[in-house]
Amino acid sequence: MGCRRTVPGALRITRERRVSSRQRLFQGLDNSPDYYQFRTRAHVGWTPACWFTVFGEGRDARTVNDSRTINLDDLFDLHQAYVSLGDIKQFPLVLKVGRQELSYGDQRYVGVSDWSNLGRTFDAVKLRYENEHFWVDAFSGQQVLPWDGHFNKSNDYDLFSGLYASTEGLVRWQETQLYFLVRNVQPGSLTAISATIGGPGPRDIYTIGTRWKSSPGALGNWDYLFEAAGQFGNITQGGGVLNHRGFAVDATGGYTFKETFGKPRFTVGYDYGSGDGDPNDGTDETFQLLLGTNHRFTG
């Protein structure tokens, strides 16, 4: 059985425009900018053989008429550039190496952050094993930090790794996922790129979780989603190292009126993330959202 090949040199360009208008009072000053955000992406891919793909994507992000002092621009830079080796139809392993997006589940803890005009990518290595019953990814990489006017680099002090598995065979009416995520941040992360560009402070956070989502149509008009995660490790705050313990639970249930015009859906959801009840007990209990697309749930 053959594979579909990308035409060498095929080019696709996408462009988005956003208009933002907000009014805030900060330190007695009227800070009400009306500004435009533009994001343009152009990518090209080549698959000369079923088991080999080369992909590259550039991204230009700029803001027009923004009176704020925060610079959200990152003029044309490399967004993705990776090589993929393997054909899952012939052999169960696929290796992907290079600058790439990572996205899992509903992107609560690992996502592309596409609400941001800049987005998110990693300089990473990802290995997938997949058969007809399940798939599992093992990945490790460093988040790329935008640096306008320079070639974007990854944060050498912030290593993000994980195992993520999914199957529809364990429970026949749902997709069941299990994951283990590790974020190790060393001293120096805060100023990894420059004096003002960096990542979070030192921490070692370990997250164990599961996600259950009903298969489309398996329960008729009903559907559900449940996700729970627990964390342990340590985090540096206020010059000291604190033990870290946290957990989060997210649940959603819905009913779709499939026979009604427009197919309206009624849904109820609940999201909970632990917080720190006592800042002086030597334990940090605030659940860390890691590197997800948080605006989808909290925006």
Q: pLDDT tens-digit profile of 58-116? A: 999 988 877 766 667 889 999 999 999 999 999 999 999 999 999 999 999 999 998 88
Q: For residue 160, which of 100, 211, 115, 118 has the smallest C-alpha distance?
A: 100
**Domain shared by 111 and 178, yes or no:** yes
Examine the domain organization and report whether 142 and 271 are in the same domain. yes
Residue 241 belongs to a domain = yes
User: Are 2 and 115 found together in one domain?
Assistant: no
Same domain, 8 and 125: no
Same domain, yes or no: 195 and 115: yes
Alpha-carbon distance 99 to 225, whole Å? 31
Q: Which of 51, 81, 111 is the last residue of a domain?
A: 81
Q: Please say which residue of 58, 81, 104 terminates a domain.
A: 81
| Tally of residues, the chain | 299
Choose the weakest-confidence range: 20-34, 178-192, 198-212, 259-273. 20-34
Contact 148, 73 (CB under 8 A): yes
The strand pair at 283-284 and 240-256 is best described as parallel
Domain that holds residue 191: 92-298
- CA–CA dist 98, 126 (Å, integer): 9
* Percent of the chain whose pLDDT exceeds 70: 87
Element (H, E) at 155: strand 153-167
Report the pLDDT value the prediction gives residue 296, as an integer from 0 to 100: 81
Q: What is the pLDDT of residue 33?
A: 63
* Measured distance CA(258)–CA(6) in Å, rounded: 37
Report whether 146 contacts 73 (CB < 8 A). no
Is 86 inside a domain boundary? no
Domain contains 87: no
131 shares a domain with 107: yes
Of 192, 16, 234, whose CA–CA distance to 117 is shortest? 16
Instruction: Tell me which of 81, 113, 134 is where a domain ends.
Output: 81
3-state helix, strand, coil in the chain (%, to 5): 0, 60, 40
Same domain, 38 and 111: no
Q: For 206-254, write each residue's pLDDT tens digit.
A: 999 999 999 999 999 999 999 999 999 999 988 889 999 999 999 999 9
Residues 33 and 162 both lie in one domain: no
* Tally of structural domains, the chain: 2
Cα 190 from chain centroid (whole Å): 20
